[in-house]
Amino acid sequence: MKDSVRAFIAVETSSAVRQRAAELIAIYAATGAKVSWVKPHNMHLTLKFLDDVPLNSVPEISAAVHQAAAECEPFELEICTAGAFPGPGRPQTLWLGTGDGSEPLGRLHAALERELKPLGFPKEQRRFAAHLTIGRVRRSEVGAAELGALIKQHAVFSAGRFPVDKLVIFSSELTPQGPIYDALSRAALGCRD
């Protein structure tokens, strides 16, 4: 039995948002660009990647996540943009971005950073950029120009709104068929019990 687990903390999206993301994926996929597409049931907004953590530290991490969640009230988050990192001209990671609700999401991220730091998880050096990853581009020129043009064309992309009312600690097992995520713990926002 393994004594560690690859873990991250995320917000789950709604089925309606995942459906809209799948519709955009179908548009992008028509270019023939070589992209590893995220399966809709695996779509989430990662707030903090923890990497490999000892299994016996999960209860302590869960307590810190519950504390961070308790500090923030539930809110609605809008998914309304689409883009790529580092940019449409050289896309590597394809994503959907946030609109209304971005500020409370940022506060939730900051609360997580604060609560997890004493447990040895350093604060992220990059500015937090909330996004829903929908695909990772593999090195290839096939369809790249067409994909870049479609990314620009769909920069404004409404995938809807969904309630953010809990944080989830997920384990992530990497397999040849793609990652398998399992919820290790859930923490309700605004719950001070």
* Residues acting as catalytic residues: 44, 131
CA 173 → CA 5, 19, 31, 114, distances in Å?
8, 24, 30, 27
Helix (H) or strand (E) holding 135: strand 131-137
Q: Which two tokens stand for residue 191?
A: 């719950």
Q: In whole angstroms, what is the distance from residue 18 CA to residue 134 CA?
A: 9
3-class DSSP state of 41? helix
Cα 130 to chain centroid, rounded: 7
Helix (H) or strand (E) holding 35: strand 35-37
Q: Which two tokens stand for residue 3?
A: 């004594």
Q: Which two tokens stand for residue 93?
A: 């990671």
Q: In whole angstroms, what is the distance from residue 177 CA to residue 100 CA?
A: 34
CA 121 → CA 24, 58, 113, distances in Å?
35, 13, 8
